Amino acid sequence: MNYRLLWLALLSGPVALAQHAPTFSALPETSLTATVSTTAVSTEAGVRYQYQLVHLDDGRIWLAPAWRGQTKLEPARKFLNYDAAGEVDALLMQALNEMAAEGWELLEIRTVNQPVQAVQKVEKSLKFNDPNTPVYTGTTSIETSSQTRYLFRRALPRP
């Protein structure tokens, strides 16, 4: 068997295929940068505050420092919990409403959207009138991760 001929065929096959398929241009750098949005409230001079952070991340609500003895709120663990996203929203709204009722003031809402992955795909379809000249359609999808945190404060009594 002629190994040189086999080797040449293996090397030239992908090169020949690559010559016929279109290529994507590089993604613009602005599409892969994180977006941070912060809403802040002004502070009063001379007043000391106690702070509470509520952070929503991956289906859990984190509390720092512990609020009412809890550092984490999450929906009930079930085998198939189709209502998990709704339960997380309900737990978050309940915690925010209870904090407001206790006198905590919403100081800041911060949302970070971070691109995680970009996928580019080329699809080939044949024209009905000329199958020798295919039409290539390219799509790019960007998957992002979003995190939101709420910062509360409450004025400390003066000594």
pLDDT in tens, 23-46: 666 666 666 777 777 776 666 777
**Which residues lie across from 151 on neighbouring strands?**
53, 108
Write down the pLDDT at residue 11. 53
Q: Which amino acid is at 74?
A: E
Give every CB contact of residue 73 below 8 A, 6+ residues apart in sequence.
60, 61, 63, 91, 92, 95
- Report cis status (omega within 30 of 0) of the bond before 157: no
> Residue 97 is which amino acid?
N
Q: Identify the pLDDT of residue 15.
A: 46
Q: What is the pLDDT of residue 23?
A: 62
Tokens of 48: 């000391």
The predicted pLDDT at position 37 comes to: 75
Phi, then psi, of 81 in degrees rounded to 5: -110, 95
Q: How far is it, in rounded angstroms, from Cα 135 to Cα 146?
A: 36
d(CA 59, CA 31): 26
pLDDT of residue 68: 87
The pLDDT of residue 16? 45
Give me the average pLDDT of each 10-residue run along the chain (159 residues).
52 49 62 72 76 86 89 80 81 91 88 84 83 84 85 84
E-strand ranges in the chain read: 35-40, 49-57, 60-67, 70-73, 105-125, 135-155
Report how far apart the first and last C-alpha atoms of the chain are (Å, whole number): 94
Q: Identify residue 8 by its one-letter amino acid code.
A: L
Q: In the block, which residue shows the tokens 């802040």?
A: 40
